[in-house]
DNA sequence: GATGAATGAGTTTTCATTCAT
DNA sequence: AATGAATGAAAACTCATTCAT
């Protein structure tokens, strides 16, 4: 979090960063800049969630109530804007996930985590899209997805310790299930029927129970 | 299958259909046309599979070694080309699926069906994309996806009859799992590791076993 | 009429012309060629009349029941095909016009000529279009339009001699009226009301009566 | 005229219309935008006038000295650009027409109106084209043509009242004559000889005089 | 700093004409 | 000679990004 010291911009492009020279006075950002940045992120978040990453940048600018120039001053490329939006999403998600992961009994924690995850993905087109687009990369948007990995790995470890998870199941297995069930959640949400994905989640959770002792394929 | 009587072109657009009058001699299509049509379909199939439905038509034409006009003579819109490619995929898929569905014992049949399905989806971006795009429509490409429904419903019924499927599981549940696991297969395939999706499939199959008697959520 | 000696092709391109060398045996054209040429002309005439000169050549070929190659063998460019069609139209028109011009009393003859002319134009989009496109050229399609000029000039002269035409009216005036009224006829025909153009024609004819002695503007 | 309140853009597309909220401060448009909009309209008007509605949009953009994007920002479709150009023409025309129609004695007014009309049509290919294309429709560009109808009907009524117009002549007759004579004017203008259409106009006007008592054809 | 107009390469599709079969 | 498939240069329109005001 490279500009955390300002307390106002924790992610993405910092327009004044390059002005910060040795010994220079760091001036607090103008309040309208702060406000604009926030509206842009809000508008972008909504647009990406409902229409996917293909939305027209102008629509975002318009619904944020700012001009294109302002948008591009804060986020020099569309990709960076998307990245920032998803990063915030993931950051919040990760936060909730840590809560879920620590508060309850392990099995409950895992199921709560997945439930929350699907609810998020059900309502976020771009989120689901980007899982696929960036699966094999390690930079850009992918970095934020990876912030979930420790949470998942922690959950998995706790479950194994408590003997409530099918032996052999890895964090990666859960991540992948997350993606697959996420897609299901999204489709179900298009049909306006959240029950549909809950059924799939139930099936997956049951398949993860330790009654199933058959080895999962490997090598 | 309106041009089945020719025995040479069972799918997609037939540019000379309207020349076929009552009693007219149907002349075999020119060999170059057949070759071109095939190269276009092959190139398109590959392009759609690897790059998704967003590929530039020109790239398809170029890699098929034909001009734009030729491509458009065979497939008057990009959508129709995509539809034809997917239709062929689905047609073949459906065929294999019927085989799988009838030959073996029910549980085996279901698992073979899903296995085959995921292998297909693992290698076809556009296929996976279109599941989502057309989930709630009933026309166009969606029609071919729906040809799988009877197969799935049949499988589900047989499994229930044999008591090898978790009570309450519907054809729609399986369809959704298909989509979700399909996405997983695709991601795993990007990483070049088919084992990954087989693990997810195993988990899902185990969750579908009749040991799990807990009701799936409904209403 | 350069290929009149064959007695079968009086207009347009003659595919074998260039084979006629000194002392060569001039072979009669194949009967299917004659038939094809005729169907092409018929189809083209209908297409140009109903859809204007913008019709797709393929539609003409298709409704003539011949391939594109055949069409282009007879008429090496679309323009030439259009020209030939209009030329035939004009030829027939000119023939009728001469009849009208000689048979009756002059005033009747003029009015009959115009009436016939408008009836033709009412039903021929391309005909009306080409009047405008080629008004200021002297080659190509324009040449056939000009074959009407002598008829018109003859009519005008006879009318002047008989004192039934407003003094000062020229053949060019009549030609222009023809074009203007032609457009009116076409519009009226779109509305399915031929009466409309007859009213305009009546007005024009009355304005041409010799009661009106006021000089028409000149210089 | 929905954006009349701005006092600066009365016709065509207003890209920021939706930004104008209740009580918002309407900022004057940027001078370059105004300039560009004007150049586009000027270039388009000239292009449509000389080459008809078939001109390449790129040519308009190029001769207006703007990029394609700019053109399309101001006029989202080619049709709308054409419509706007013609609408301005018609608006100005209608204005002049009302002047002509009210100022003078009826017969003079009618003749002045027609004279003005033909002068306009003589120099505008697209204008003349669109009369024909839209004759039987009531939407789009046709709406502006229809704004002339009341003027014409008014003129006709005044002329009949004053007994200076041939009995039975309707506004529709005049409209049609307008179109026909317009085409004549256009052709004459191509030859660079405006006298030609004045002669045709004179003939038509004389045919409209009340000396001619013969009924015009009807039913 | 903010604004939103301008840019222009890129995308799909059409159709007169050519040429292999 | 006939066929109809192949060609490819346009043409209309989009949208991420830049830049004048």
**Residue A120, CB-side half-sphere exposure with 13 Å CA sphere:** 23
Judged on CB neighbours under 10 Å (0-12, 13-18, 19+), C159 is buried
Percent of chain B whose pLDDT exceeds 70:
87
DSSP state, residue C173: H
**B88 shares a domain with B38:** no
Residue pLDDT, tens place only, D60-92: 999 999 999 999 999 999 999 999 999 999 888
Q: Is the pLDDT of residue A175 over 80?
A: yes
In Å, what is the CA distance from B25 to each residue of B16, B28, D154?
A: 13, 9, 65
CB-CB neighbours of D5 under 10 Å? 10
Strands (E) located in A14-172: none
pLDDT mean across residues, chain C: 85
Q: Which of A205, A211, A217 sits opposite B199 (nearest CB)?
A: A217
Residue B218 domain flag: no
Residue D65's pLDDT is 95
- Which stretch of DSSP H or E encloses residue C125? helix C125-133
Q: Is the pLDDT of residue B22 over 50?
A: no
Chain D residues lying within 8 Å of C203, measured CB to CB: 166, 169, 173, 177, 204, 207-208, 212, 216
Q: Are B192 and A177 in contact (CB under 8 A)?
A: no
DSSP state, residue D27: P
Query: What CATH number is given to the structural domain containing B43?
Result: 1.10.10.60
Residue C185's pLDDT is 93
Q: Which two tokens stand for residue D188?
A: 């004459």
Is A159 touching B (CB cutoff 8 A)?
no
Domain boundary among D76, D92, D113: D76
Q: Are B63 and B51 in contact (CB under 8 A)?
A: no
CB-CB neighbours of C207 under 10 Å? 23
Closest CA to E14 C1' — which residue? B69
**D115 shares a domain with D71:** no
C-alpha gyration radius of chain A: 20
Those of residues 164-203 in C touching chain D at CB distance below 8 A are 166, 169, 172-173, 176-177, 179-184, 186-188, 190-191, 195-200, 202-203
**D192 shares a domain with D128:** yes
Residue C30's pLDDT is 65
Q: Whole-angstrom Cα distance, residue C126 to residue C122?
A: 11
- Cβ D32 to strand F below 7 Å: yes
Among B1-10, B40-49, D173-182, the least confident range: B1-10
Residue D5's pLDDT is 36
Under 8 Å CB-to-CB from D83, ≥6 apart: which residues? D140, D141, D144
Domain boundary among A58, A76, A94: A76
Residue A14's pLDDT is 46
Contact C173 D199 (CB under 8 A): yes
CB-CB neighbours of B142 under 10 Å? 16
Q: Is the pLDDT of residue B24 over 80?
A: no
Determine the straight-line distance between the first and last CA of chain B, rounded to whole angstroms: 40
Residue pLDDT, tens place only, C62-106: 999 999 999 999 999 999 999 999 988 888 888 888 888 887 789
In Å, what is the CA distance from C102 to each residue of B185, C154, C175, C209?
A: 87, 9, 18, 20
pLDDT band at A135 (very low <50, low <70, confident <90, very high): confident
List strand F contacts in B 23-52 (CB < 7 A): 27, 29-30, 32-33, 35-37
Residue D168's pLDDT is 96
Q: Which two tokens stand for residue D165?
A: 């117009």
In Å, what is the CA distance from A161 to each residue of A166, B71, B182?
A: 11, 60, 31
In Å, what is the CA distance from B215 to each residue of A180, A203, B169, D59?
A: 22, 10, 9, 68
Q: Whole-angstrom Cα distance, residue A195 to residue D217?
A: 74
Q: Whole-angstrom Cα distance, residue D187 to residue D57?
A: 25
Q: Whole-angstrom Cα distance, residue A40 to residue A62?
A: 9
Q: Are A197 and A180 in contact (CB under 8 A)?
A: no
Q: Are A101 and A113 in contact (CB under 8 A)?
A: yes
Q: Is the pLDDT of residue D1 over 80?
A: no
CB-CB neighbours of D129 under 10 Å? 20
D55 CA – F11 C1', rounded, Å: 10
**A95 shares a domain with A54:** no
CB-CB neighbours of D177 under 10 Å? 26
Can you list the alpha helix ranges (DSSP code H) found in chain D?
Answer: 31-51, 57-64, 68-74, 78-103, 106-122, 125-133, 142-146, 148-161, 171-190, 194-207
- Closest among B208, B112, B106, B212 to B161, alpha carbons compared: B106
Residue A66's pLDDT is 95
Q: Whole-angstrom Cα distance, residue B117 to residue B122?
A: 9
Q: Whole-angstrom Cα distance, residue A85 to residue A74?
A: 12
Closest-lying nucleotide for B33 based on CA to C1': F5
Closest-lying nucleotide for B70 based on CA to C1': F6
Q: Whole-angstrom Cα distance, residue C62 to residue B18?
A: 9
Phi-psi category of residue B23: left, alpha or beta, with phi > 0 → left and psi -120 to 50 → alpha: left
pLDDT mean across residues, chain D: 85
If one compares A80 and C3, the residue with the highest pLDDT of the two is A80
Q: Which two tokens stand for residue D163?
A: 């007994």
**Residue range D126-146: average pLDDT?**
83
Residue B217 domain flag: no
Q: Which two tokens stand for residue A189?
A: 């949400």
Residue B9 domain flag: no
Q: Is the pLDDT of residue D45 over 90?
A: yes
Q: Whole-angstrom Cα distance, residue C70 to residue C50?
A: 23
Q: Are A169 and B196 in contact (CB under 8 A)?
A: no
Q: Which two tokens stand for residue A166?
A: 């099918």
Q: Are C92 and C68 in contact (CB under 8 A)?
A: no
Q: Which two tokens stand for residue A35?
A: 């406000």
pLDDT band at A59 (very low <50, low <70, confident <90, very high): very high
C185 CA – F4 C1', rounded, Å: 39
If one compares A128 and A70, the residue with the highest pLDDT of the two is A70
Chains touching chain C through at least 3 C-beta pairs below 8 angstroms are: D
How many domains are contained in chain C? 2
- Which stretch of DSSP H or E encloses residue A16? none
Residue B114's pLDDT is 94
In Å, what is the CA distance from D171 to each residue of B42, D100, D146, D156, D177?
A: 63, 16, 12, 6, 10
Q: Considering Cα of C116, then C118, then C121, then C127, what sign does the dihedral take?
A: positive
Residue B7 domain flag: no
pLDDT band at C49 (very low <50, low <70, confident <90, very high): very high
Query: What CATH number is given to the structural domain containing B151?
Result: 1.10.357
- Cβ A69 to strand E below 7 Å: yes
Residue C200 domain flag: yes
pLDDT band at C27 (very low <50, low <70, confident <90, very high): low
Q: Whole-angstrom Cα distance, residue B58 to residue B75?
A: 13
User: Global pTM?
Assistant: 0.83
Contact A207 B202 (CB under 8 A): yes
Contact C196 D186 (CB under 8 A): no
Residue C19's pLDDT is 47
Q: Whole-angstrom Cα distance, residue A53 to residue A127?
A: 9
DSSP state, residue C172: H
pLDDT band at A96 (very low <50, low <70, confident <90, very high): confident
**Residue range C37-46: average pLDDT?**
95
Q: Is the pLDDT of residue C212 over 60?
A: yes
**A110 shares a domain with A98:** yes
DSSP assignment of C128-139: HHHHHHTTT--S
Among A214-218, B151-155, C147-151, D111-115, the least confident range: C147-151
C203 CA – F14 C1', rounded, Å: 52
Contact A207 B211 (CB under 8 A): no
Is A116 touching B (CB cutoff 8 A)?
no
Q: Are B74 and B36 in contact (CB under 8 A)?
A: yes
Among A29-38, B182-191, D60-69, D208-217, the least confident range: A29-38
Q: Which two tokens stand for residue D208?
A: 């409209």
**C84 shares a domain with C65:** no
User: No. of H helices and E strands in chain A?
Assistant: 10, 0
Residue pLDDT, tens place only, A60-76: 999 999 999 999 999 99
**D187 shares a domain with D134:** yes
Q: Considering Cα of A22, then A26, then A32, then A36, what sign does the dihedral take?
A: positive
Q: Are D147 and D94 in contact (CB under 8 A)?
A: yes
| Sole residue written with tokens 């009531």 | D138
Judged on CB neighbours under 10 Å (0-12, 13-18, 19+), C27 is exposed
| Sole residue written with tokens 């008057």 | B76
Under 8 Å CB-to-CB from D36, ≥6 apart: which residues? D64, D66, D70, D74
Domain boundary among C76, C95, C122: C76
Contact A206 B186 (CB under 8 A): no
Residue C215 domain flag: no
Task: Indicate the length of chain A as a whole number.
Answer: 219
**B102 shares a domain with B29:** no
pLDDT mean across residues, chain A: 85
Residue A8 domain flag: no
Q: Whole-angstrom Cα distance, residue A114 to residue A106?
A: 12
Contact C188 D207 (CB under 8 A): no
**A113 shares a domain with A201:** yes
Q: Whole-angstrom Cα distance, residue A182 to residue A116?
A: 11
**D103 shares a domain with D64:** no
**B121 shares a domain with B87:** yes
Q: Considering Cα of A115, then A119, then A120, then A125, what sign does the dihedral take?
A: positive
Residue C218 domain flag: no
Q: Are A59 and A32 in contact (CB under 8 A)?
A: no
pLDDT band at A206 (very low <50, low <70, confident <90, very high): very high
Among A102-106, B172-176, C76-80, C84-88, the least confident range: A102-106
Q: Which two tokens stand for residue C3?
A: 């290929």
**D90 shares a domain with D49:** no
By residue range, what is the domain housing residue B40?
Answer: 19-76
**Residue range B172-196: average pLDDT?**
90
């Amino acid at each position: 979090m490279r500009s955390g010291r300002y307390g106002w911009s924790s992610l993405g492009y910092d327009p004044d960063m390059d002005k910060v020279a040795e010994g220079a006075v760091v001036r607090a950002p103008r309040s309208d800049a702060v406000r604009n940045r926030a509206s842009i992120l809000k508008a972008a978040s909504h647009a990406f969630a409902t229409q996917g990453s293909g939305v027209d940048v102008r629509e975002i600018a318009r619904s944020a109530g700012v001009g294109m120039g302002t948008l591009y001053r804060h986020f020099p490329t569309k990709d960076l804007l998307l990245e920032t939006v998803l990063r915030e999403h993931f950051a919040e998600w990760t936060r909730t996930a840590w809560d879920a992961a620590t508060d309850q009994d392990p099995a409950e924690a895992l199921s709560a985590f997945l439930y929350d995850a699907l609810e998020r993905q059900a309502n976020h087109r771009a989120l689901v899209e980007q899982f696929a687009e960036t699966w094999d990369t390690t930079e850009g948007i992918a970095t934020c997805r990876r912030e979930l990995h420790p949470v998942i790995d922690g959950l998995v470890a706790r479950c194994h310790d408590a003997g409530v998870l099918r032996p052999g199941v890895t964090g990666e297995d859960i991540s992948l299930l997350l993606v697959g069930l996420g897609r299901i959640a999204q489709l179900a949400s298009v049909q306006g029927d959240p029950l549909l994905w809950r059924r799939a989640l139930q099936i997956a959770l049951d398949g993860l129970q330790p009654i199933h002792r058959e080895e999962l394929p490997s090598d």
